[in-house]
């Protein structure tokens, strides 16, 4: 909370200095309301801190009385079993609770007055509907309907919400639910023209499918006609539910038998001289695909240098078009990124060599170090790092073959969200500053490992910095599947 206030206060003078601000009284009056909101937020923060301090005072007064009594006759005091028990209890638990209270960030407990109204949810649902994103249309319209059911007063009525909601559900292929919602709409407005038309159409479709199924059954066919989806959202994801579940922290738990095969170890880079005396710390995050986390693998000082180099170059992140090979922005990747070469700074060069030493993979044919920054809401939906068989020209211009492996540095902690998830296998890897994760995208045969399909979950609170290195096939010929020593 207080951080937010300070950030806004710092930014306000810059905004006011812009000459365009003085050309509109409307914008100037907006600033008055902004300042009022800041004052309100500041008061809320002060109240929360005062409440915390009051709790600490009560603890101090209680403990002061106890210690005053105990110090008069220490042996006699602890000689009583109840006093001895309570002393041990305080030292083992209550003082820890007090420490947690002292360190607690009270801004987490402040209830902000900003919230999404029915109108907000309805408008967001309409935007999604316009973009043929029926999945999110359903989510926003259901939230609007829920708030109306809870009694929120709004200029938007249930009929309008149900109108969009029923059709969005139908577009996703759920005729039963669409029919139910349409009937609910007509209970509120029996004369609604579009709803009456939709009702007849939905009933006709369901009756036709019933007849088709009956005919198929009469022909002793095992195949059944299923409702066809009349429209697929532009951001349709077959694994969306699992992806969002993993982003919420509801990961799939491994069986104890599989967990026993995950280890922590010290890794010397296959007897690399740089890591014999100070080996790297490795932790197995997942078994199939094998995902390894390296702890304390990049220092805070190195992180700051990489960020400083990248900040002036940050641009909206792009993807390689699988058909044309051109770089383009897409709605499912929301972040800013920059590329750093090893020759421009010794720190970047040192980081590149560290990756090579620990993986045994030649970085001379790897792509440059990509630095990415995700703000609140920043994400990258499920994707593959390697090129599939139907994308033969994806990395043709590089001339280095497919992406054999991915190395990903976490350069910040994230307050909430921001995990790297693998929906195919149910793995979630959470950001931890100073660590890195590594996995192979290709099998030893050169075939793509489809279980490595992964995503960067939306950042909910905070700021996420990462940097990654994509290592390619060329240059690895004697490391995968054999080494030079084996050929001699």
Query: Residue 11's pLDDT is what?
Result: 42
pLDDT for residue 54 is more than 70: yes
Could you give the 3-state DSSP secondary structure of residue 287?
A: coil
Sheet holding 427-429, edge to edge: 333-334, 379-383, 454-456, 420-422, 427-429
Rounded Cα gap, residues 205 and 202, in angstroms: 5
pLDDT for residue 434 is more than 90: yes
Instruction: Let me know: does 467 contact 371? Beta carbons within 8 Å.
Output: yes
Query: Residue 403's pLDDT is what?
Result: 94
Which residue's entry shows tokens 């039963």?
176
In this structure, the dihedral spanned by the alpha carbons of residues 173, 175, 176 and 181, taken in order and rounded to 10 degrees, is 110
Mean pLDDT of 217-233: 49
Mean pLDDT of 430-459: 95
Query: Residue 227's pLDDT is what?
Result: 45
Structure tokens at 131: 């973009």
Query: Residue 108's pLDDT is what?
Result: 57
pLDDT in tens, 390-415: 777 778 778 888 999 999 999 999 98
Structure tokens at 308: 């400083």
Q: Distance of alpha carbon 64 from its chain centroid, rounded? A: 46
pLDDT over 90, % of the chain: 45
Mean pLDDT of 261-282: 93
Query: Residue 116's pLDDT is what?
Result: 81
* Arithmetic mean of pLDDT over the chain: 83
Beta bridge partners of 421: 428, 455
Rounded Cα gap, residues 289 and 365, in angstroms: 24
Mean pLDDT of 21-36: 59
Instruction: Let me know: does 403 contact 454? Beta carbons within 8 Å.
Output: no
Higher pLDDT pick, 481 / 271? 271
Helices and strands: H and E segment counts in the chain: 16, 18
Query: Residue 114's pLDDT is what?
Result: 55
Rounded Cα gap, residues 114 and 229, in angstroms: 37
- Closest C-alpha to 439, from 292, 295, 298: 292
Higher pLDDT pick, 162 / 376? 162
Q: How many CB atoms lie within 10 A of CB 113?
A: 9
Q: Distance of alpha carbon 454 from its chain centroid, rounded? A: 11
Contacts of 271 (CB under 8 A, 6+ apart): none
Q: What is the pTM of this model?
A: 0.61
Could you give the 3-state DSSP secondary structure of residue 468?
A: strand
Q: How many CB atoms lie within 10 A of CB 295?
A: 13
pLDDT over 70, % of the chain: 82
Phi/psi of residue 206, nearest 5 degrees: -65, -40
Query: Residue 307's pLDDT is what?
Result: 95
pLDDT for residue 52 is more than 90: no
Cis link prior to 289 (omega < 30° from 0)? yes
For 173, which DSSP code? T
């Amino acid at each position: 909370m207080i951080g937010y206030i300070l950030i806004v206060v710092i930014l306000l003078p810059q905004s006011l200095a812009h000459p365009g601000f003085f050309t509109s009284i409307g914008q100037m009056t907006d600033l008055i309301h902004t300042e009022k909101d800041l004052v309100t937020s500041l008061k809320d923060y002060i109240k929360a801190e005062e409440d915390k301090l009051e709790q600490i005072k009560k603890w101090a007064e209680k403990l002061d009385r106890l210690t005053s009594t105990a110090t008069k006759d220490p042996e006699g005091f602890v000689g009583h079993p109840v006093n001895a028990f309570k002393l041990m209890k305080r030292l083992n638990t209550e003082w820890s609770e007090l420490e947690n209270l002292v360190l607690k960030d009270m801004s987490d407990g402040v209830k902000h007055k900003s919230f999404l109204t029915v109108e907000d949810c309805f408008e967001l649902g309409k935007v999604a509907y316009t973009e043929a994103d029926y999945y999110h249309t359903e989510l926003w319209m259901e939230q609007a309907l829920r708030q109306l059911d809870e009694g929120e007063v709004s200029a938007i009525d249930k009929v309008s919400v149900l109108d969009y909601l029923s059709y969005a559900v139908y577009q996703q292929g759920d005729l039963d639910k669409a029919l139910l919602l349409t009937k609910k709409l007509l209970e509120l407005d029996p004369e609604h023209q579009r709803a009456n038309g939709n009702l007849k159409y939905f009933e006709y479709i369901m009756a036709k499918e019933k007849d088709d199924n009956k005919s198929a059954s009469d022909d002793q066919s095992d195949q059944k006609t299923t409702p066809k989806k009349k429209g697929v959202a532009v951001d349709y994801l077959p694994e969306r539910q699992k992806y969002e579940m993993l982003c919420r922290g509801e990961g799939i738990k491994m069986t104890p038998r599989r967990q026993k095969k995950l280890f922590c170890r010290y890794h010397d880079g296959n007897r690399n001289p740089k890591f014999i005396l100070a080996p790297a710390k490795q932790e197995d995050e997942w078994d199939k695909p094998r995902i390894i986390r390296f702890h304390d693998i990049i220092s805070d000082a190195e992180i700051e240098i990489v960020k400083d180099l990248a900040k002036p170059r940050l641009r909206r992140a792009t993807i390689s078009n699988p058909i044309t090979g051109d770089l383009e922005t897409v709605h499912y990747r929301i972040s800013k990124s920059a590329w750093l070469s090893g020759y421009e700074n010794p720190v970047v060069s040192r980081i590149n060599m560290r990756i090579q030493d620990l993986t045994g993979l030649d970085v001379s044919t790897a792509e440059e170090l990509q630095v990415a920054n995700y703000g609140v809401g920043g994400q990258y939906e499920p994707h593959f790092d390697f090129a599939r068989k139907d994308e033969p020209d994806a990395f043709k211009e590089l001339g280095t073959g497919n992406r054999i492996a991915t190395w990903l540095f976490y350069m910040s902690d994230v307050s909430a969200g921001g995990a790297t998830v693998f929906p195919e296998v149910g793995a979630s890897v959470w950001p931890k500053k100073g660590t890195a994760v590594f996995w192979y995208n290709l099998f030893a045969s050169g075939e793509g490992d489809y279980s490595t399909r992964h995503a960067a979950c939306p950042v909910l609170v905070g700021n996420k910095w990462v940097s990654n290195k994509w290592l390619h096939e060329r240059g690895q010929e004697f490391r995968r599947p054999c080494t030079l020593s084996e050929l001699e």
